[in-house]
Each structure stands twice: as C-alpha cells, then as structure tokens.
Amino acid sequence: MSILAIRIDGKAVSAAVREEVKQQAAALTAQGHQPALAVILVGEDPASQVYVRNKHKACAECGIRSLQYELPASTTQQELLTLIQTLNEDDTVDGILCQLPLPRHLDEQAVILAIDPKKDVDAFHPVNAGRIMSGDYGFLPCTPAGIMEMLRRYDIAIPGKRCVVIGRSNIVGKPMAMLLINAGGTVTVCNSKTRDLPAVTREADILVAAVGKPHFVTADMVKEGAVVIDVGINRNTEGKLCGDVAFDEVSEKASYITPVPGGVGPMTITMLLQNTITAAKIHKEENE
C-alpha cells in the first residue's frame, strides 16, 4: 500500500492569513484609516454575482469597508471609466476591483488601464505586471500569491527546485512562473499543446496545473514525491466540482497536493484582502 500525499489545507492557511488581515485592519482603523475596497460589478453574470458577494462578506468579516457598485449590463464604457476615475480620486478608497468578465461591449483592457496602479488590488495593471517581472512588487495577483503563501506555510522550499506550470494566462500561469523564478526555482511554462507534456511534467518537483480541464494531470505525468498544486475549478460530467488533477491517483505519488475544493480556491479572496491592507498602508503613508 502506498503512502498518500499530505493534503495542503487551503481553508486552514486562509483562516490564519485572514486572522492577520483582521489584526492589520483593526490597527489601521485605530490609527484613523479603515481599509476600504470598492468592487464594481457590471451586468448579471451569476458566477460573478457569487464572487462579488463572497468578496463583500470576506471584507466585512475582517473589518475592511467594502463599497459595492452594481451597474446594469447596459452601462457604457464612458460611464464605467467615469466611476473608476471618481474612485481613483477618492482618498477614502484604497483598493478598486472591477469584476471580470465584463459584458462584451466593454473594453476590459481599457478598464484595467484606467485603475490607478496604487489601487489595483488585482495586480492586473501593466505597471504591476511589470513590477512582478522585476521582483519589486506591492501587489501580487491573488491566485499565484495564494499559492506562494501555501508553499511558505508548509515549509516547501523553492530554490533549486524544478517547477513546471501548465497554463500561460495573464492572471495565473505567467505571474505564477515569475514568482517561482523570483523565489529561485527553475521554471518551465507549458500549455495543453506542449509536445510530450508528460515528459516535461515528470521533471517537476513542484507542478502547478492551471489548464481548466478536469482530471488533465494524471499519475503518469507526476514524479514520485512531487508537490502538486491544482488551480482548476471545473465541473465533471456529474456536475461535481473538480480540479485539473486526478486527485486520487496523483495522491499516491505526490508528497503534497492541494484538493479541489478546499485548496487554492479559499486563498484567492484572502490574498485580495491582504492586497487591500497593502494599498491602505501605501495611502495612509502618502496622506501623512
């Protein structure tokens, strides 16, 4: 009988970080600067409504003021940019997040560019993306930041390790690769079309799957003792939530593994809260 991998408990790590966020929010509030996050939702996408509601709830639980802007799907580009400009200029607002995807007639890139980089708690603005490249960052994109936090809290060292990231999105794959490079990893970025992908992934000491395909990573693709991080949030044929990794079979080979649900997912909003605290500290110092 094989030994099963240790499950990385995203809920527990998330709870620990949220406790620290709560304390930092209380300290800032006591100094007269309650951290505040503005969340903009355009339209009625049901998944986005759930995400936004969860962000609001998480803020409330940690003592962060959250301002909700729910705009109709008919909102024009100009109306949205005007709201962002108002929030950029509002000294009481520390972070601004515009929930994506936007309705088709709106230009996402223009919206990302309009948010003041100092309030860009998603770290989607090119200024923040560039700062991640140089290793000098204030904000980190929430999902990769959450993964780094989990690795840190489980004492999983990165220097010298072979790291393979499957997925090259701007939100997860690319910044994830940068953070692993900055931490001293030897990093390969693949995608679902990479030739002989299993041969590449079998090299990984740390394997991050962000492909968006249920059970894409199977045991034959994983090296004995690897750390496997599953970013996928998919539904299987029975409609059940599942990741990109075939959890049961990969658990028999990996040393550590993140489950879905309960792994990377809970960390994402937590890192948004952490970014809001960072933004509040920047603004507080600027206003002093």
142 in contact with ligand GUN (CB under 6 A): yes
| DSSP, res 217 | B
Tokens 């200029």 — which residue?
89
Task: Establish whether 99 is a catalytic residue.
Answer: yes
Task: Establish whether 55 is a catalytic residue.
Answer: yes
99 in contact with ligand GUN (CB under 6 A): yes
Positive/negative CA dihedral, 41, 45, 46, 47 = negative
Q: How far is Cα 27 from Cα 147, in angstroms, rounded to an integer?
A: 26
Residue sitting closest to ligand GUN (CB): 100
Task: Establish whether 122 is a catalytic residue.
Answer: yes
Which one among 37, 87, 97, 123 touches ligand GUN, defined by CB under 6 A? 97
**In terms of DSSP bridges, do strands 241-242 and 234-235 run parallel, antiparallel, or are they unpaired?**
antiparallel
Give the active site residue among 94, 122, 230, 244.
122
Tokens describing residue 44: 């009625």
253: nearest Cα among 226, 233, 277: 226
Q: Are 122 and 99 in contact (CB under 8 A)?
A: no
Positive/negative CA dihedral, 243, 245, 249, 254 = negative
Closer to ligand GUN by Cβ: residue 99 or 278: 99
128 in contact with ligand GUN (CB under 6 A): no
271 in contact with ligand GUN (CB under 6 A): no
Tokens describing residue 69: 């802007």
Closer to ligand GUN by Cβ: residue 42 or 227: 42
Which listed range, 30-38, 97-105, 218-226, 230-238, lies at the site for ligand GUN (CB under 6 A)?
A: 97-105
Give the active site residue among 9, 24, 99, 223.
99
71 in contact with ligand GUN (CB under 6 A): no
Taking the complex as a whole, the smallest distance from the CB of residue 142 to ligand GUN amounts, in Å, to: 5
Binding site for ligand GUN (CB under 6 A): 97-100, 122, 142
